[in-house]
Amino acid sequence: MKTRVLGRTGVQVSSLCLGTMMFGEMGNSDHADSIRIIHAALDAGITIVDTADVYSHGESEQIVGKALSEIDRDRVFLATKACAPMGESPTQMGLSRRWIIEECENSLRRLGVDHIDLYQMHRPDPSTDIDETLGALSDLVHVGKIRYFGSSTFPAYQIVEAQWTAERRMRERFVTEQPPYSILARGVERDVLPVTEKYGMGVLPWSPLAGGWLAGTFGTGKANVSRRSARIPARYDMSLPANQAKLAAVDQLTELAADAGLTLIQLAIAFVLAHPAVTCPIIGPRTMEHLDSQLAAADVHLDGDVLDRIDQIVPPGTDLSSTDAGYDPPSITSSWRRRRPSR
């Protein structure tokens, strides 16, 4: 598998990243089978593996740790994440110094390793000053617990703020961003991806198959259901206009893929790979069959005519559904932030 440089770090990683959200209770609860899939991905040339503390409440990290214990650890660039709640206590979440340092130790223990290559902040934390976060992460770099750190699903303005803060306060900086990006969710093309290029950040897009919408199981006359429907109903409720628009786009993309001699999965992943800001899309197989179907996209190159046709189906910079953005800031979710107090 071809490799690409991760931002300006100088580290070479494979053009596909193995995501492990589907290993554990959330997906494949068979640890032995999950480990086989991880090893198969590594044997196919993948060198970067992404997980998170919150995936199956730590179980995914444990599975990844077991898989790594059976191979040469140095073969893998290991990434994990923190921020989401890991318990009922308000201290067990967020991006405070206290929690970042504590949860890093927890992830190291679950993974069974002495360092994490890339420690990512899973979402912004509006209650914590970014300098507090960068200070804690810089300390973890200096003591060797982590090699690099990055952000995930941060709005463009917060990526810029973090870069400026790091420079002014002499902190280590975010070297990567992990945004949602697919043919159906192109909003990051407007600002996030140009900002990452400006600051030389590596980009690891999550959900290149749009939460299963581009996996070949959605379309007119198909079941149009997902294992995630109960957990994220707004993304799969076919009565919603946004999802009807996605369904119409999927029908056109399926036809385009067939005309190009590709599967829809290959078209979808190759589209993400084609953006110059992207380092490696994150594939998230639950089964060996899923892995095989997604690995096949690594060497696909889309010509200009195919990319032009995709632009006609889903215009650049467009999210067909706002629920695919992955994060809504308090300025949107809190009504009091949008209304002047009554006199």
As a whole number, mean pLDDT of residues 275-285 equals: 98
Helix (H) or strand (E) holding 152: strand 146-152
Helix (H, G, I), strand (E, B) or coil at 41: helix
Report the C-alpha gap between 251 and 258 in whole angstroms: 11
**Which among 55, 148, 181, 199 is annotated as catalytic?**
55
Q: Please, which pLDDT band fits residue 224 given cuts at 50, 70 and 90?
A: confident
Kindly list the domain boundaries of the chain, sorted by start residue.
10-338
Contacts of 172 (CB under 8 A, 6+ apart): 134, 137, 138, 141, 149, 166
pLDDT tens per residue across span 129-150: 999 999 999 999 999 999 999 9
CB-CB contact of 270 with 300 (8 Å): yes
Residue 223: pLDDT over 90: no
What is the overall mean pLDDT for the chain? Answer: 96
Q: Please, which pLDDT band fits residue 225 given cuts at 50, 70 and 90?
A: confident
As a whole number, mean pLDDT of residues 14-41 equals: 97
Q: Which amino acid is at 112?
A: G
Q: Please, which pLDDT band fits residue 337 given cuts at 50, 70 and 90?
A: confident
> The pTM is what?
0.96
Look at 58-67, 301-310, 332-341 and tell me which has the smallest mean pLDDT: 332-341
pLDDT tens per residue across span 230-256: 788 889 999 999 999 999 999 999 999
Residue 178: pLDDT over 90: yes
As a whole number, mean pLDDT of residues 172-185 equals: 98
Residue 55 annotated as catalytic: yes
Residues of the chain with pLDDT > 90, as a percent, come to: 91
Q: Please, which pLDDT band fits residue 228 given cuts at 50, 70 and 90?
A: confident
Residue-level pLDDT at 230: 74
As a whole number, mean pLDDT of residues 12-23 equals: 98
Report the C-alpha gap between 182 and 190 in whole angstroms: 13
What superfamily in CATH does domain 10-338 come from? NADP-dependent oxidoreductase domain (3.20.20.100)
Counting DSSP H helices and E strands in the chain, the numbers are 11, 10
Residue 325: beta bridge partners?
none
pLDDT tens per residue across span 67-121: 999 999 999 999 999 999 999 999 999 999 999 999 999 999 999 999 999 999 9
Q: Please, which pLDDT band fits residue 9 given cuts at 50, 70 and 90?
A: very high
Residue 124: pLDDT over 80: yes
CB-CB contact of 39 with 234 (8 Å): no
Contacts of 321 (CB under 8 A, 6+ apart): 184, 185, 234, 235, 240, 242, 243, 245, 246
Going edge to edge, which strands form the sheet with 17-19? 202-203, 176-178, 146-152, 116-121, 77-82, 48-50, 17-19, 282-283
Residue-level pLDDT at 343: 74
The backbone torsions φ and ψ at residue 101, rounded to the nearest 5 degrees and listed phi first, read -70, -45
Helix (H) or strand (E) holding 292: helix 288-295
Residues of the chain with pLDDT > 70, as a percent, come to: 100
Residue-level pLDDT at 340: 87
Residue-level pLDDT at 232: 84
